[in-house]
Amino acid sequence: MKIIELHKSLTESNDRDADALRARMKAAGTLMINVMSSPGSGKTTLLSRIIGDIGKEVRIGVLEADIDASVDAERIEALGARSIQAHTDGMCHMDAGMTAAALDEMGTGDLDLVFLENVGNLICPAEFDTGAGCNVMLLSVTEGDDKPLKYPLMFSESDALIVTKTDALSFFDFDLKKCEERAKRLNPAIRIFPVSAKTGEGMAALEEWIRKRMAEWKDTKT
């Protein structure tokens, strides 16, 4: 299990670093999906499910970013997928320089798809372009349907909203329709996928969308 200790990037322009990383990944035909959410909303469980479902046809790597520990990368590695654990030196997000350093350490040239599991919180990760080709966020039904009102930037920056733990909907007052309306008001183009990584409900639609994004990424390579 590889662990990389990262520090805040010294370069002045994160946006420039992000564009350079995106161009590099595009030239290689590897799509990076930046996965953001609050702690415990189900990121690692969802990625594990995706690896189990499509990991035989798609070469997947996972960059796990946390302040400490390596449990998430160990969970991914146990499934046979490539992974690396990055420690963020106390920082609550990944920037593009940190992401590039960790990807270099993991090696991505032969991969079709890389997930960056960003540090868990709904604020800072949305403020930093990581160089990903695609941003997704998770919101679990246990967190409440009012989150688009409180953390608008995260919803505005995400290409897709994955509403997780739908198997638990009957135990919580989560109004899926209200949440969708609130998210679409902030970001009319956002795609919304209600899923349960536990039961598999809704996973096929999400995985189809990921396949399409990968194909588009490779098609527009030049």
Ligand X SMILES: Nc1nc2c(ncn2[C@@H]2O[C@H](COP(=O)(O)OP(=O)(O)OP(=O)(O)O)[C@@H](O)[C@H]2O)c(=O)[nH]1
Please answer whether residues 26 and 110 qualify as being in contact, where contact means their C-beta atoms are separated by less than 8 angstroms: no
In angstroms, the CA 141 to CA 106 distance is 33
Q: Using DSSP, how many helices (H) and how many strands (E) does the chain show? A: 8, 8
Indicate which of ligand X, Mg ion, none lies near residue 88 (CB less than 5 to 8 Å, by partner kind). Answer: none
- 169 touching ligand X, by CB under 6 A: no
Question: Does residue 87 belong to the site contacting Mg ion (CB under 5 A)?
Answer: no
Residue 17 or 46: the one with the smaller Cβ distance to ligand X is 46
DSSP secondary structure code for residue 127 in this structure:
G
Helix axes 14-28, 96-106, angle to 10 degrees: 30
Say how many residues touch ligand X, by CB under 6 A.
17
Residue 75 contacts Mg ion per CB under 5 A? no
Interaction with ligand X in 114-143: which residues (CB under 6 A)?
A: 120
Nearer to Mg ion, 72 or 143 (CB): 72
Residue 29 DSSP class: T
The least CB distance from residue 88 to ligand X, in Å, is: 13
Give yes or no for residue 43 binding Mg ion (CB under 5 A): yes
Give which of 197, 161, 199 is closest to 45, Cα–Cα.
197
Contact positions vs ligand X (CB under 6 A): 37, 39-45, 72, 120, 164-165, 167-168, 196-198
